[in-house]
Structure 1
Amino acid sequence: MSYTEHTGSYYAASANPSPERPPLQGSHETDVCVIGAGYTGISTALFLLEHGFRVTVLEAAKVGFGASGRNGGQIVNSYSRDIDVIERTLGNDQARMLGDMAFEGGRIIRDRVKRYGIKCDLKDGGVFAAFNQKQMDHLQAQKQLWERYGHTELQMLDTAGIQNVVNTDLYVGGMLDMSGGHIHPLNLVLGEAAAVESLGGIIHEQSRVIRVDQGARAVVNTEQGQVTAKFVVVAGNAYLGDLIPQLAAKSMPCGTQVVATEPLSPEMAHALLPQDYCVEDCSYLLDYYRLSGDRRLIFGGGVVYGARDPADVVSLVRPNLVKTFPQLKDVKIDYAWTGNFLLTVSRLPQVGRIGNNIYYSQGCSGHGVTFTHVAGKILAEALRGQAERFDAFAALPHYPFPGGRLLRVPFTAMGAWYYQMRDKLGI
Structure 2
Amino acid sequence: MPEAVRGLTDNPGHAPSWYAASARDRRVRPMLQGETEADVCIIGAGFSGISAALELAERGYRVVVLEAERIGFGASGRNGGQIVNGYSRDLQTIATRYGKDKATRLGEMSLEGAAIIRARVEKYAIDCDLVDGGFFAAFTDKQMRAMEAHKADWERHGHPGLEMVSAQEVGRYVKTGRYAGGMIDRLGGHIHPLNLVLGEAGAVERLGGQIFERSRVIRLEEGTPYRVVTEKGAVRARYVLVCGNAYLPPQLPEISGRMMPVSSQVLTTEPLEAGLAQALLPANYCVEDANYILDYYRRTADNRILYGGGIGYGGRDPKDITAVIRPNMLKTFPELAGVRIDYAWSGNFALTLTRIPHIGQLRPNLYFSHGDSGHGVTTTHLLGKILGEAVAGHAERYDVWSSLPNLPFPGGLRFRVPLTVLGAWWYGMRDRLGW
Provide the TM-score with structure 2 as the length reference.
Answer: 0.97
- Does residue 314 of the first structure (1) align with residue 315 of the second (2)? no
Q: Which residue of 2 aligns with 1:159?
A: 167
Q: Which residue of 2 aligns with 1:31?
A: 39
Is contact 1:99–1:149 with CA below 8 Å preserved after alignment? yes
- Does residue 206 of the first structure (1) align with residue 203 of the second (2)? no
Q: Secondary structure at the match of 1:139?
A: helix
Aligned mates of 1:241, 1:48 — CA distance in 2:
24
Matching residue's letter, 2:202: A
Show CA shifts across 1:296-338 (max 9, x none). 0000001100102221100000110000111111111000000
Q: How far did 1:163 drift?
A: 1.8
Matching residue's letter, 1:374: L
Matching residue's letter, 2:143: Q
Q: Which residue of 1 aligns with 2:434?
A: 426
Is contact 1:255–1:303 with CA below 8 Å preserved after alignment? yes
Q: Which residue of 2 aligns with 1:247?
A: 255
Q: Secondary structure at the match of 1:335?
A: strand
Is contact 2:175–2:279 with CA below 8 Å preserved after alignment? yes
- Does residue 131 of the first structure (1) align with residue 139 of the second (2)? yes
Q: Which residue of 1 aligns with 2:333?
A: 325
- Does residue 394 of the first structure (1) align with residue 402 of the second (2)? yes
- Does residue 234 of the first structure (1) align with residue 234 of the second (2)? no
Deviation larger for 192-201 or 91-100: 91-100
Q: Secondary structure at the match of 1:56?
A: strand
Matching residue's letter, 1:363: G
Is contact 1:4–1:206 with CA below 8 Å preserved after alignment? no
- Does residue 410 of the first structure (1) align with residue 388 of the second (2)? no
Is contact 1:170–1:324 with CA below 8 Å preserved after alignment? yes
Is contact 2:38–2:64 with CA below 8 Å preserved after alignment? yes
Q: Which runs of 4+ in 1 moved over 6 A?
A: none
Aligned mates of 2:227, 2:293 — CA distance in 1:
41
Aligned mates of 2:271, 2:203 — CA distance in 1:
30
Matching residue's letter, 2:16: G
Q: Which residue of 2 aligns with 1:48?
A: 56
Q: Secondary structure at the match of 2:79?
A: coil
Matching residue's letter, 1:179: L
Q: Which residue of 2 aligns with 1:187?
A: 195
Q: How far did 1:244 drift?
A: 1.1
Q: Which residue of 1 aligns with 2:148?
A: 140
Show CA shifts across 1:384-424 (max 9, x none). 11111101110111211111100111110010000000001
Q: Secondary structure at the match of 1:19?
A: coil
Is contact 2:78–2:194 with CA below 8 Å preserved after alignment? yes
Q: Secondary structure at the match of 2:19?
A: helix
Q: How far did 1:243 drift?
A: 2.3
Q: Which residue of 1 aligns with 2:4?
A: none
Structure 1 alignment gaps of length 5 or more: none
Q: Which residue of 1 aligns with 2:376?
A: 368
RMSD: 0.9
- Does residue 6 of the first structure (1) align with residue 9 of the second (2)? no
Q: Which residue of 1 aligns with 2:114?
A: 106
Q: Which residue of 2 aligns with 1:272?
A: 280
Q: How far did 1:4 drift?
A: 6.5
Deviation larger for 285-294 or 89-98: 89-98
1:67 aligns with one of 75, 78, 83:
75
Q: Secondary structure at the match of 2:135?
A: strand
Q: Which residue of 1 aligns with 2:346?
A: 338
Is contact 2:25–2:195 with CA below 8 Å preserved after alignment? no
Aligned mates of 1:345, 1:162 — CA distance in 2:
34
Q: Secondary structure at the match of 1:260?
A: strand
Aligned mates of 1:324, 1:24 — CA distance in 2:
47
Q: Which residue of 1 aligns with 2:228?
A: 220
Aligned mates of 1:133, 1:366 — CA distance in 2:
25
Aligned mates of 1:276, 1:172 — CA distance in 2:
20
Matching residue's letter, 1:105: G
Aligned mates of 1:401, 1:19 — CA distance in 2:
39
Percent identity between matched residues is: 56
Aligned mates of 2:138, 2:354 — CA distance in 1:
24
- Does residue 17 of the first structure (1) align with residue 25 of the second (2)? yes
Aligned mates of 1:47, 1:344 — CA distance in 2:
25
Q: Which residue of 2 aligns with 1:83?
A: 91
Is contact 2:270–2:342 with CA below 8 Å preserved after alignment? yes
Aligned mates of 2:318, 2:20 — CA distance in 1:
19
Q: How far did 1:162 drift?
A: 1.3
**Number of residue-to-residue matches in the alignment:** 425
Deviation larger for 393-402 or 133-142: 393-402
Q: Secondary structure at the match of 2:379?
A: helix
Matching residue's letter, 2:305: L
Matching residue's letter, 1:109: I
Aligned mates of 1:91, 1:104 — CA distance in 2:
21
Matching residue's letter, 2:433: L
Aligned mates of 1:4, 1:400 — CA distance in 2:
36
Is contact 1:123–1:277 with CA below 8 Å preserved after alignment? yes
Aligned mates of 2:208, 2:406 — CA distance in 1:
36
Matching residue's letter, 2:142: K
Is contact 1:211–1:220 with CA below 8 Å preserved after alignment? yes
Is contact 1:4–1:61 with CA below 8 Å preserved after alignment? no
Aligned mates of 2:291, 2:256 — CA distance in 1:
27
Q: Secondary structure at the match of 2:372?
A: coil
Q: Which residue of 1 aligns with 2:181?
A: 173
Matching residue's letter, 2:152: Q
Aligned mates of 1:43, 1:145 — CA distance in 2:
28
Show CA shifts across 1:233-283 (max 9, x none). 000000002021110111000100000000011110011000000000000
Is contact 1:342–1:363 with CA below 8 Å preserved after alignment? yes
Q: Which residue of 2 aligns with 1:286?
A: 294
Q: Which residue of 1 aligns with 2:128?
A: 120
Aligned mates of 1:188, 1:35 — CA distance in 2:
19
Show CA shifts across 1:42-101 (max 9, x none). 000000010010000000010000000000000001100111111111111111111111
Aligned mates of 2:292, 2:222 — CA distance in 1:
40
Provide the TM-score with structure 1 as the length reference.
Answer: 0.98
Structure 2 alignment gaps of length 5 or more: 1-10
Show CA shifts across 1:15-49 (max 9, x none). 00232211001111100000000000000000001
